[in-house]
Amino acid sequence: MKKYITLLLFAAILMGAGCKKDENSSELKADFTFQISQNPGEVAFTNKSSNAQTYEWSFGDGRASTMKSPVHVYDFNDTYIVKLVAFGNQKTSSFTDTIVITNITKK
């Protein structure tokens, strides 16, 4: 009987741990991916942020956007640091990545 009670207690503890709410499920996290287009200087950004309501993009060329997943066109071949700031629940999170544009031909 003692083994049975111990086993039931152990099972109850495991079930309680398995039902525990994920504490990070509401964590704000900025993230994005990008795809450089065949169109000269064009980059499509895909926002992968979690739990954000608004966004601020800085494309590294002096221009910005508040769209969720913008498409941006660069004017010159260069290396750019892109920053996304995500806002939600009175918190902010940021993510940066580097983009190298090489497909703009001089006219």
Total domains in the fold of the chain:
1
Q: Mean pLDDT across the stretch 90-94?
A: 96
pTM of the full structure? 0.76
Instruction: Note the pLDDT of residue 14.
Output: 47
What are residue 45's phi and psi, to 5 degrees?
-100, 135
Whether 79 is covered by a domain: the verdict is yes
Cα atoms found within 13 Å of the Cα of residue 104, Cβ hemisphere only: 13
| Nearest in space to 34 (alpha carbons), one of 104, 86, 107, 84 | 84
pLDDT digits (tens, 9 = 90+) for 1-47: 555 555 454 555 545 544 444 455 789 999 999 999 999 999 999 99
Which CATH number do you get for residue 95?
A: 2.60.40.10
pLDDT digits (tens, 9 = 90+) for 40-56: 999 999 999 999 999 99
Whether 18 is covered by a domain: the verdict is no
Instruction: Note the pLDDT of residue 26.
Output: 86
Range of the domain at 72: 25-101
